[in-house]
Amino acid sequence: MSRVQQVTVLGATGSIGLSTLDVIARHPDRYQVFALSGFSRLKELFALCVRHTPRFAVVPQAAIARDLQDELRAAGLRTEVLVGEEGLCQVAADPEVDAVMAAIVGAAGLRPTLAAVHAGKKILLANKEALVMSGALFMQAVRKSGSLLLPVDSEHNAIFQCMPGDFARGLGQVGVRRILLTASGGPFLHTPLSELEHVSPEQACAHPNWSMGRKISVDSASMMNKGLELIEACWLFDAKPAQVEVVIHPQSVIHSLVDYIDGSVLAQLGNPDMRTPIANALSWPQRIDSGVAPLDLFAIARLDFQAPDEQRFPCLRLARQAAEAGASAPATLNAANEVAVAAFLEGRIRYPEIASIIEEVLNREPVVAVDELDAVFSADARARELTGQWLKRHGR
Ligand code: NDP
Ligand code: MG
């Protein structure tokens, strides 16, 4: 390692952001924080600035920026506070930056992540929604700029580790038969179907193995997360939806597998702690300590597998449908899901209605080509509008 790498952490106040900063802090000889962003957790952002002394911090509004700037100055820090999407894009693309952790949740992460891609940065991709929305354009931009795209999502990081180095030649060319994407099944794997009507946001967010932000926790409960990951895997590894099989594995120890034509199946295992894939992506192709405890196979004792039940997890079926339709369908799916999940978290809709809303929006919205970013954002906006109409029609 020649010099200290400058890292921008987009979404620093979130679950992935904090895990990233934990890994970075273990290696001050390798990594320095260049910029941090927050959205609503501003006290936490201030504390992170004190701890990591970034050159820049980014917040959503000018008034918030002024307050934070005053506080930082009073604390003797020279961190400069920037504002909004423009600020996020600036710190993602700054010539001094080596790597960008894309860990903003949802569609809000798309433009800043793409700014990092266009600037040819090393992208540590957690923000799967960005890739789901704009897959073809995103991958085209990666190829054009020569940016290095490293998956942080634990399953995709596992697949990346189990793939041969030249997988970009095509799965068929490198002897890969299929990708086996593991899923924990979430908190409702065994809940009687009749009780799903009554589950609360707190129950949906109580994931058995992982501690995550609220949106992805609900996505994990509904398995929309696995559906988004199926689409993510297709783009990252140039796979067809039919080449990606979802396997429920409740212990979350095997993070995914690659099945080769000679019958070999390679898997990556580890404790369910995001610091492992984060450290892997940060230091690739080297390895660094992540702070994660060694895996204790004797304590785990057994590994179980089962096929997903589409009646229990209709969101998985809807995501596969969108993956197969391609073009604007994944952006439509993603936007309807974001609005529906937010409504569920606010107590405005029941849990099974998340899937009903998405299905209706997908059925009503035509699939159109997305040759440019504007088309992606139009599909996103139309799906949000249709989801809003559903909520209004049902008095929510
Ligand atoms: P969190 O909700 O914990 O964090 C989200 C981050 O994004 C926070 O820093 C938040 O700021 C910021 N943010 C929220 N809305 C906006 C917005 N409109 N504009 C700018 N910033 C915003 O989520 P996670 O860390 O769990 O997830 C982040 C991403 O990583 C998601 O795309 C998720 O799918 C993906 N991921 C997460 C995993 C996990 O284990 N958590 C695993 C694999 C992927 P603030 O908190 O200050 O409001
Ligand atoms: Mg995942």
Q: Report whether 114 contacts 129 (CB < 8 A).
A: no
What's residue 314's pLDDT? Answer: 98
Rounded distance from Cα 108 to ligand 1 centre (Å): 10
Rounded distance from Cα 73 to ligand 2 centre (Å): 38
The yes-or-no answer to whether 5-151 and 326-396 have a common fold is no
Q: What is the pLDDT of residues 227-263, one digit of tens each?
A: 999 999 999 999 999 999 999 999 999 999 999 999 9
Q: What is the pLDDT of residues 41-83, one digit of tens each?
A: 999 999 999 999 999 999 999 999 999 999 999 999 999 999 9
Q: What is the pTM of this model?
A: 0.98
Rounded distance from Cα 166 to ligand 1 centre (Å): 31
Which stretches of 22-131 are assigned E, i.e. beta strand? 31-37, 56-59, 80-83, 99-102, 122-125
pLDDT above 60: residue 393:
yes
Categorize the per-residue pLDDT at 119 as very low, low, confident or very high, splitting at 50, 70 and 90: very high
Is residue 11 lining ligand 1, measured as CB closer than 6 Å? yes
Q: Looking at the CA of 181, name the nearest ligand.
A: 2
Q: Report whether 255 contacts 155 (CB < 8 A).
A: yes
Question: What kind of fold does domain 5-151 have according to CATH?
Answer: Rossmann fold (3.40.50)
Q: What is the pLDDT of residues 299-352, one digit of tens each?
A: 999 999 999 999 999 999 999 999 999 999 999 999 999 999 999 999 999 999
**Mutation pick for ligand 1 pocket among 105, 339, 345 (CB with most ligand atoms within 8 Å):** 105
Is residue 9 lining ligand 1, measured as CB closer than 6 Å? no
> By CB neighbour count within 10 A (0-12 exposed, 13-18 middle, 19+ buried), where does 139 fall?
middle
pLDDT above 70: residue 1:
no
If DSSP codes are grouped into helix, strand and coil, which group holds residue 391? helix
Rounded distance from Cα 192 to ligand 1 centre (Å): 30
Is residue 250 lining ligand 1, measured as CB closer than 6 Å? no
Q: Looking at the CA of 9, name the nearest ligand.
A: 1
Phi/psi at 291 (nearest 5 deg)? 85, 0
Q: Mean pLDDT over residues 11-37, rounded?
A: 98
C-alpha torsion sign, points 264, 301, 213, 22: negative
Cα–Cα dist 259/15, whole Å:
31
Give one DSSP letter per residue of 148-167, joined into a string: EEEE-SHHHHHHHHHS-TTG
Q: What is the pLDDT of residues 129-183, one digit of tens each?
A: 999 999 999 999 999 999 999 999 999 999 999 999 999 999 999 999 999 999 9
How is residue 172 written in tokens? 């068929």
Is residue 213 lining ligand 1, measured as CB closer than 6 Å? yes
C-alpha torsion sign, points 260, 297, 282, 68: positive
Q: Report whether 253 contacts 267 (CB < 8 A).
A: no
Domain spans of the chain, in order of start: 5-151, 153-312, 326-396
Rounded distance from Cα 351 to ligand 2 centre (Å): 21
How is residue 115 written in tokens? 């700014």
Percent residues over pLDDT 70 in the chain: 99
If DSSP codes are grouped into helix, strand and coil, which group holds residue 241? helix
- So what's the architecture of 326-396 in CATH? Orthogonal Bundle (1.10)
Rounded distance from Cα 274 to ligand 2 centre (Å): 9
Rounded distance from Cα 94 to ligand 1 centre (Å): 22
> By CB neighbour count within 10 A (0-12 exposed, 13-18 middle, 19+ buried), where does 316 fall?
buried
Nearest CA to ligand 1 atom 26: 213
How is residue 312 written in tokens? 């229990």
Nearest CA to ligand 1 atom 9: 11
Is residue 268 lining ligand 1, measured as CB closer than 6 Å? no
Q: Looking at the CA of 58, name the nearest ligand.
A: 1
Is residue 46 lining ligand 1, measured as CB closer than 6 Å? no
What's residue 2's pLDDT? Answer: 65
Cα–Cα dist 29/36, whole Å:
19
**Mutation pick for ligand 1 pocket among 16, 43, 156, 380 (CB with most ligand atoms within 8 Å):** 16
Q: What is the pLDDT of residues 336-392, one digit of tens each?
A: 999 999 999 999 999 999 999 999 999 999 999 999 999 999 999 999 999 999 999
Is residue 157 lining ligand 1, measured as CB closer than 6 Å? no
How is residue 268 written in tokens? 């990556």
What's residue 188's pLDDT? Answer: 98
What amino acid occupies position 253?
V
Q: Which of 194, 231, 224 is nearest to 339 (CA)?
A: 224
